[in-house]
Structure 1
Amino acid sequence: MARKLTVTADGGSRGNPGPAAFGAVVYENGKTLEEVAETIGVASNNVAEYRGLIAGLTAAHEIDATAEIEVRMDSKLVVEQMSGRWQIKHPDMKKLAFQARDIHPRELITFTWIPREENSHADRILNDVLDGAPSSAREPIQQNFLMERLISGEEPTTIYLIRHGETILTPARKFSGSGPLNPELTDIGISQAEAVAKEIVKLKPDLLFSSPLRRTQETAARISASTKLEIITQDIWIEQSFGKWDGMSVAEVSAEFPAEYKHWLAGTSYIPPEGESYDEVTARALEGIDQVATENPGKKIVVVTHNGIIKTAVAAIIGARPESIFHIDISPCSITTISVWPSDNLMALRGCNERGHLRG
């Protein structure tokens, strides 16, 4: 009977890209068999996570080349890509994924996404090695890469993230996700969409993407009319799923689901009943940004999407803690601007929640 091993792995970058490390742990029946942690110089979070996966699989394979291995990671991106459900667009990620796939027989490996708190062992040892070098012996580690990029002459891809206009659920702050309710724009929402369309046409964008939900499609239609761009609809830009909470007010959710609501307020990994966690939305938002930036280098891209997508992307781009999204709110038909440099996908926030065009 084949041995059953569990690998947990994580990667972290302080700066994204910045000083990075990975950690991986191999277990059997709950007992730790091996720990692996190493600094890898300057790298992105995604690269560090893949390096952790490679280290964990390598360690498990060396223990038993015929074992069944369950890989458990809190990186939705890596789990979905390695499971074959998400495409791998970035060439560096492809190389690392191919390397990981060649370590152990693929039919013996399964991948499972876990909340961040269940991956604390791997997270702890990677942070230990990042903190481990004596400060007196440490050379200064570059963290500011943007300054060099701004004077390099390399043309970034510019992405304008537009939240849709107001719906009937917006003023009361009701949960409005990707569920079947799918509200349309109100008269105020239509006016907001027309105002942002007038602003966007001044930017002379090259492409227009949108979530498939009605409120984003109606907003994108106004932008399409002003820019003469065809709407490219992609599911990856859809709003977070709130599951059973969709359409409910905060008071209703806290009364009907008191325990679940407390967990949801306490962190980004909690999944509402039949819904989606903020961590999952973050991974999806970054996957969408990576995809459009890689496929359209140097272009100006408009994406009509949602509050959840935009605020999780902003937090990830500036390297803030995941919980920082609880201090970010994106207004209807505001503009959030990011730049992505094609050479290594360095991302920078250029503007957030701009709404001057709505004050006229």
Structure 2
Amino acid sequence: MTDFALHLLRHGEPERTGLMLGRTDCASTAAGIAACVDQAGDLGIETLISSDLIRASHAASAIGRTLNISVTRDPRWRELDFGAWDGMASADLDPEALGRFWNDPDAHPPPGGERWSALVARVSDAIAMLPPRPTLIVTHGGAMRAALAALCGFDQRQLWAFELPYAALLSLRVWEGQPRSAQITGLYA
């Protein structure tokens, strides 16, 4: 069975922290971008993909310049859309509504926001279209968890057992098939 390496890299620390950053676009700090470049150093990638949000795409561009690889931007790798909560601090939200969301983001999405299953579906679609060669995707914590759900079968509650800080690198071995499946080979925070 054919397999390939897939590396998922969370963007570096954003300039605005402590907020529900889904579709809200803000840049990463210079140190956050540098941390991403450091993580990508010796992966031996042939394909470089990024979310189209600047906190991910700027890091991908820096990686691409360092490795002399072009970047493809794909909006399917965006973070979950937090709807009316997007760009707000968690402390400013109704704690009961926020708790229901964290416990079951599919049954209790943010007002006007995206359901967990919709995020998993769009990330699954992006995974199905990946070329079977060593790939790095610079993305977001939610999209990384959605990829684990799609490729490894983790349910939403299990996914919160993985800490994915800024610039965390999650490496997988992906096997061809319908659907594709994977094994985690490393998590570097």
| Fold shared, TM-score > 0.5 on shorter chain | yes
Structure 2 residue 117 is the aligned partner of structure 1 residue 283: no
1:265 equivalenced with 2:105 (yes/no)? no
How far the C-alpha of 1:348 sits from its partner, in A, is 1.7
**1:336 match: secondary structure:** strand
Unaligned runs of 5+ in 1: 1-153, 356-360
Aligned counterpart in structure 1 of residue 32 of structure 2, from 183, 186, 189: 189
Q: Could you say if the C-alpha distance between residues 352 and 286 of structure 1 is closer, same or farther in structure 2, counting changes exceeding 3 Å?
A: farther
- 1:160 touches 1:335 (CA, 8 Å); kept in 2? yes
Shift of 1:305: 0.7
Question: Is the contact made by 1:240 and 1:308 (CA closer than 8 Å) also made in structure 2?
Answer: yes
Cα 1:332–1:351 shift into 2, 3 Å: farther
Alignment-mate amino acid for residue 157 of structure 1: F
What's the Cα RMSD here? 1.9
Q: Which has the larger radius of gyration?
A: 1
1:204 aligns to 2:44 (yes or no): yes
**Structure-to-structure mapping, 1:214-229, within 5 angstroms:** 214-229=54-69
Return the structure number with greater relative CO, CA threshold 8 A, min gap 6: 2
Q: Give the aligned partner of residue 176 of structure 1.
A: 21
Query: Relative to structure 1, is the Cα distance of residues 321 and 194 closer, same or farther in structure 2, using a 3 angstrom cutoff?
Result: closer
> Secondary structure of 1:184's partner?
coil
Per-residue Cα deviation, 1:154-201 (whole angstroms, up to 9, x for no partner): 33122111111111233x3x211113xx1111132133123224x2xx
Pairing partner for 1:325 from 145, 151, 159 = 159
Which structure: greater helix fraction?
1
Q: Separation in 1 of the partners of 2:80 and 2:160? A: 15
Provide the rounded CA distance (Å) in 1 between the counterparts of 2:34 and 2:66: 14
Question: Deviations for 1:225-278, whole angstroms, at most 9, x for unmatched residues?
Answer: 111111111111111111111121111113xxx453232133131221121122
Contact 1:208 1:303 in 2 (8 A): yes
The alpha carbon displacement at 1:337 in A equals: 1.6
Aligned pair partner of 2:145 in 297, 300, 311? 311
The alpha-carbon deviation at position 218 of structure 1 amounts to: 0.9
Q: Once the 2 structures are TM-superposed, how far is the Cα of residue 352 of structure 1 from its aligned partner?
A: 4.6
SS of the residue 2:160 aligns to: helix
Query: Cα 1:227–1:313, aligned 2, differ >3 Å: closer, same or farther?
Result: same
1:260 aligned partner, one-letter code: A
| Match of residue 158 from structure 1 | 5
TM-superposed CA distance for 1:306, in Å, is 0.5
> Which residue number in structure 1 is paired with residue 87 of structure 2?
247
- Are the aligned partners of 1:331 and 1:353 in contact in 2 as well (CA < 8 Å)? no
CA distance in 2, matches of 1:349, 1:273: 34
Alignment of 1:1-360 (within 5 A): 154-170=1-17, 172=18, 174-179=19-24, 182-197=25-40, 199=41, 202-254=42-94, 258-269=95-106, 270-292=108-130, 296-297=131-132, 299-355=133-189
CA drift at 1:343: 4.4
Q: Report SS of the residue matched to 1:177.
A: coil
One-letter identity of the residue aligned with 1:242 = F
**TM-score under structure 2 length normalisation:** 0.89
Q: Any conservation in 2 of the 1:167–1:215 contact (CA below 8 Å)?
A: yes
**SS of residue matched to 2:26:** coil
Contact 1:208–1:230 (8 Å) recurs in 2: yes
Q: Which amino acid aligns with 1:305?
A: T
Give the superposition deviation at 1:350: 2.6
Supply the distance in 2 between the matched residues of 1:193 and 1:265 (Cα, whole angstroms): 27
